[in-house]
Structure 1
């Protein structure tokens, strides 16, 4: 059965030669060939600032996020492709999610503020695809994949996304052969809408 996918290219640099762009293109093309509907968002092509106060997080984001929130709310599946920078998700990509989630879009508090927030993204699945220069096993074994786990638990799972799966592509600069293999794995995920 075809799915509606919100595909986010989380690389903050809009330059087309970035590997995350190639992965996003591969996922999109194979998903569409398989009959899935893809709403693509490119963080690097968007202009927005950073949130700097709790009041900003409590209000609706700028109008540039209207199509973002529509794509997320209509999606069955969310895919985020991003590079690991200084052990974390890039600052602009994090700011993208802060804006998208603001105004209780991902989590809604109860009227009296007591109790667990309501998960607004229930019924949706997610996939995180992270690229990095270090070997993927080193990121998982030595660094504990801490930023990936934080994004999974602190943003996606708490908001209701389930299941949340991830793919780690390490050593992206090592060889053309390994990058081709990563692209093929991404195409396979796109065809299956996973």
Structure 2
């Protein structure tokens, strides 16, 4: 594990909070490291005295949006209701996903499009106003390339778009990130180290 990519900084413990975790890997295979990371954060958060609710993208059944009329109309999908309820309940959101072609998987983007609708996530009008203020977030991303390459060469464009155009747009801030590079080359010890770091973040509610 590259020391420059490791989430090593320590944080002061915070007051117990409501933490909503979105496991954004579309593949339900238990071997996917994103699932282990989401579970590690949840375990740490519970040990830290926080309330935790989790949502697994691989378990959800919802349509993709195809037109503006559908986006502006109320949805009638139970899984989307559960997703919005988790966001509305949470004070701190954790989004875990793999990097696919520089950004989040299409299925996760489709979930964001469905969840963050006008009326729920922001007030539409001449000046759109976010309605999800008072919440913070952390995005945890796994990727095949070194995290430093993603930041410096590619400009972390997919991550920045999620932070700025989705989360900050609806009022969520501050937004922190943890980037885990060289995922295919990580040794067992390296994976355990990352799980330990993410669990510690969960315990601190960061």
| TM-score above 0.5 | yes
Aligned-pair CA distance for 1:173: 1.5
Q: Of 160, 172, 197, which aligns to 1:185?
A: 197
**Over aligned residues, Cα RMSD in angstroms?**
1.0
Q: How far is 1:117 from its partner? A: 1.2
Superposition map of 1:7-156 within 5 A: 7-61=21-75, 62-109=77-124, 113-114=125-126, 116-156=127-167
CA contact (8 A) 2:138 2:178 kept: yes
Post-superposition Cα deviations, 1:125-179, rounded to whole Å, max 9, x if no partner, equal 0100000011101101110100000000000011111101111000112122221
Q: CA deviation at 1:184?
A: 1.1
Asked whether the 8 Å contact 2:23–2:35 carries over to 1, the reply is: yes
How far residue 75 of structure 1 moved from its aligned partner, in angstroms, is 0.7
8 Å CA contact 1:60, 1:103 repeated in 2: no
Moved over 4 A (4+): none
Task: Give the Cα separation in 2 of the matches to 1:119 and 1:103.
Answer: 9
SS at structure 1 position matched to 2:36:
helix
Q: Which has the higher contact order (CA 8 A, sep 6+)?
A: 2
SS in structure 2 of the partner of residue 159 of structure 1: coil
Secondary structure, counterpart of 2:183 in structure 1:
coil
What TM-score, normalized by structure 1, do the two folds share?
0.95
Gaps of 5+ in 2: 1-14
| Distance in 2 between residues matched to 1:23 and 1:150, nearest whole Å | 22
- Is 2:20 the counterpart of 1:6? yes
- Measure how far apart 1:78 and its partner are: 0.5
| TM-score, normalisation: structure 2 | 0.89
Comparing 171-180 with 21-30, greater Cα deviation is found at 171-180
1:173 is paired with a residue of what secondary structure? helix
Q: Which runs of 5+ in 1 are unaligned?
A: none
